[in-house]
Structure 1
Amino acid sequence: MIAGLTPDEQPLQDLGWFPFPATDSGDGEPGAFMGGVDGYSCFVEAPPECAQFLNFFMQTEYQENYAEAFVTLPANKEAQGVVTDPALQSVLEAYNEAPYVSVWLDTLYGQNVGNALNAGVVEMLAGDGDPQSIVEAVDAAAAME
């Protein structure tokens, strides 16, 4: 995604990631991961075609194609060999060793709060906001629910 935002549409050479620092008083478990590539699901009342599609889509061949086309991580562990980007390989290594994975906060919080969170972060990164404005936007969105 970052590559699409750069002038030459190439990934940043120094792009990487780091784990959130653990604290003695923090909940959770060191090594826990936040992400969104580890699964898909169907609504309990979905037609059988939903499960059929997921079974199709999760096949190694299609997961490899998906990961290559979108320069991302496949959900199928057997397809992970196609990941060649060094930044993604580092993420994948930590992801595979994580004791558990929680979905991204914007997903966890739902559409209203999640959109407010995302917009606030983008504004801050663009120089038009700050951490407090993110908190205020998220609080305002949560109050509307």
Structure 2
Amino acid sequence: MNAIATSSAELAQQDIVDEFAFFGDWTERYQYLIDLGKQLPPFPEELKTEDYRVHGCQSLVWLVPSGNAGSLHFQAASDSAIVSGLIALVLRVYSDRPASEIVATEPRFIEAIGLAKHLSPTRSNGLAAMLAKLKAYAAATLNS
């Protein structure tokens, strides 16, 4: 089971890298990110609370965990189109996975698709804050 679980987050990252390889320039990649963000499921207004807010982001971001150490699900939303796209990518890699896999998986897709070079420092910080919060939620379920 574990080998399959480990490869699933890795496969999700590889799929993202392959998808972004289709686009010739960053204008197209940003548009694709925005389109991905528009496909996020609706986010309940009542979950837009301070408890779920991700601090360190310039835009407003909320991240809500559910499930347990065996399978953690995340819902997330942002008031920014590009950040919503980043959320869509993060959820593809990390949502609905075992907590141990979430903690162990490094977000290599960020570097692999060139996001690290093309995000503003504030967006990079926000993405790092979102990943840190997501991994902290996963680690907490492992320790409970």
TM-score (structure 1 length as normaliser): 0.24
- Tell me which protein shows more helix as a share of its residues: 2
TM-score by length of 2: 0.24
Relative contact order (alpha carbons < 8 A, sep ≥ 6): 1 or 2 greater?
2
Judging by fraction of residues, say which structure has more strand: 2
